Amino acid sequence: MPDSRQAALQADLDDPLRAFRDEFDIDLGGPIYLDGNSLGRPPRATAAAVASVLDEWRRQLVSGWDRWIDLPRLVGDRIGRLLGAANGQVVLSDSTTVNLYKLAAGALGARPTKGAIVGDLHDFPTVRYVLQGLAERERRRLVLVESDPVEGPSPEQVGAALERADDVALCCFSAVNYRSGALLDVAAVTEAAHRVGALTLFDLSHAAGVVPVGLDAADVDLATGCSYKYLNGGPGAPAWLYVRRDVQPQLRQPIWGWFGQRDQFAMARDYDPVEGIERFLTGSPAILGIAAVDAGIAPLLAAGMPEVWAKARRLVALLARRSEERLVPRGVSIASPGDPARRGGHLALAHPQALAASRLLVERGLVVPDFRRPDVLRLAPVALSTSYVEVWDAVERVAEVLDDGAVHRVVAAGRIT
């Protein structure tokens, strides 16, 4: 691990992924971007990919659909390669929130007599809200594991909740916690859930494109995630969903739309869902958005997930060590697991002045971090577009801002996204 700025520069020269940085549109004079887990950077190829669909639209008009109609599945298969999923199990559709609803409702429908849903108290709010809404609607019990906010739920805690809840239909967790970056043992949770006959649903929004999840190998039933974080699909990009092949026929989703219908253009009177993964589609897919997702994942596919994950871990390890050395003495506490094996691609730093510090970092054009209430800066270096020296310099810039008296004067104002 680099132990000087010079060594960080050398690590960049030795980095086997270094050429990928040029595939992204990076303003070298701009701030250091460490918010790729909120919105990934645009690949340079995205503009041409979207322009090409605009051109197809102009030239082919409605007959463009002959090609476009297969894109949710074709690009889904490519996302599947990043997640360890064989073809025919991933499609692009709707948003993550809507997909969580579709998949969770489908799972409950497949376990009609079981009374409970198990989730995580500290999961991303949309996950909790969807589960709360479904529990109320379907008259099931929602059991939230009181996980450690830094370490995340342990497989033992999940196991205990499954035993206590005793008639669990669905077990729903995030693979990487949005705040602390805690990495869940997806295979262990799935095994525990399957022992009691529950289905598993994982939100992979902070895992896809950074952690090689291995969905098929872990025997996961259902998963979904967004495409605008590490998958670089752009703001509001269509999300993806995964349903393991043998689970597909067991599940019906709650939105009966014509894109999930067998022989869609026969316009049959009654809903009869198609056999495969496309039964989880609803209505017309967002083709321009899907084209951007396809361009967004191309560099990840070219680099390969094992290499991406290896560099992501090195970047986070460097960030953690430099934060220990430079920021902990300035009142920061590291709000992510200390064990590198239990961390995903980002690090959370807690400090009483975190909000003011994040404002100053942005206003002064130093670093783009992410702030989470009440006191956390989330920093996410991204394997293909962040350099080691940027991690080194970013920590120095955070230290500089924490040393500045202005950090105590910045008044909280404005909207946090």
Ligand X SMILES: *Cc1c(COP(=O)(O)O)cnc(C)c1O
Residue with tokens 């690949």, as numbered in its chain: 43
Measured from the CB atom, the residue of 178 and 280 that comes closer to ligand X is 178
Closest distance between ligand X and the C-beta of residue 6, in Å?
36
Closest distance between ligand X and the C-beta of residue 206, in Å?
5
Asked if 226 touches ligand X (CB under 6 A), the answer is: yes
One-letter identity of residue 112: P
**Choice among 33, 101, 124, 259 that is catalytic:** 124
Q: Is the peptide bond before 306 cis (omega within 30 degrees of 0)?
A: no
Measured from the CB atom, the residue of 244 and 346 that comes closer to ligand X is 346
Beta bridge partners of 182: 343
Q: Which two tokens stand for residue 283?
A: 């209505």
User: In Å, how far from its chain's centre is CA 32?
Assistant: 21
Measured from the CB atom, the residue of 207 and 384 that comes closer to ligand X is 207
User: In Å, how far from its chain's centre is CA 342?
Assistant: 16
Q: In whole angstroms, give the CA distance from residue 32 to residue 389.
A: 10
Residue 228 among the catalytic residues: yes
One-letter identity of residue 399: A
**Choice among 179, 322, 378, 397 that is catalytic:** 378
Q: In whole angstroms, give the CA distance from residue 364 to residue 298.
A: 33
**Choice among 203, 221, 370, 375 that is catalytic:** 203
Closest distance between ligand X and the C-beta of residue 177, in Å?
8
Total residues interacting with ligand X, rule: CB under 6 A: 13
Closest distance between ligand X and the C-beta of residue 157, in Å?
19
Among residues 96, 154, 190, 386, the one that binds ligand X under rule CB under 6 A = 96
Closest distance between ligand X and the C-beta of residue 15, in Å?
27
Residue 378 among the catalytic residues: yes
In Å, how far are 57, 246, 313, 416 from 50, measured between CA atoms?
11, 35, 32, 29
SS3 242: strand
Measured from the CB atom, the residue of 89 and 96 that comes closer to ligand X is 96
Closest distance between ligand X and the C-beta of residue 259, in Å?
19
Closest distance between ligand X and the C-beta of residue 289, in Å?
12
Q: In whole angstroms, give the CA distance from residue 201 to residue 173.
A: 7
Q: Which two tokens stand for residue 131?
A: 């589960």
Subset of residues 156 to 195 that bind ligand X, contact rule: CB under 6 A: 174, 178
Q: In whole angstroms, give the CA distance from residue 86 to residue 89.
A: 7
Measured from the CB atom, the residue of 124 and 259 that comes closer to ligand X is 124
In this structure, are residues 155 and 196 in contact, taking their beta carbons and an 8 Å threshold?
no
In Å, how far are 23, 104, 175 from 116, measured between CA atoms?
46, 12, 21
In Å, how far are 99, 103, 105, 128, 182 from 108, measured between CA atoms?
14, 9, 5, 16, 27
Stretch that binds ligand X, among 93-101, 189-197, 215-223, 335-343 (CB under 6 A): 93-101
**Choice among 41, 78, 179, 229 that is catalytic:** 229
Measured from the CB atom, the residue of 78 and 206 that comes closer to ligand X is 206
Per-residue binder mask for ligand X (CB under 6 A), 193-222, x = binder: ----------x-xx----------------
Q: In whole angstroms, give the CA distance from residue 43 to residue 362.
A: 22
Stretch that binds ligand X, among 52-60, 90-98, 291-299, 380-388 (CB under 6 A): 90-98
**Choice among 173, 228, 230, 280 that is catalytic:** 228
**Strand 168-174 to 116-120 pairing:** parallel
Asked if 351 touches ligand X (CB under 6 A), the answer is: no
Residue 124 among the catalytic residues: yes
SS3 195: helix
Among residues 20, 68, 124, 202, the one that binds ligand X under rule CB under 6 A = 124
Among residues 46, 89, 97, 232, the one that binds ligand X under rule CB under 6 A = 97
Contacting residues toward ligand X, per CB under 6 A: 95-97, 124, 126-127, 174, 178, 203, 205-206, 226, 239
Which positions are catalytic?
124, 203, 228-229, 378
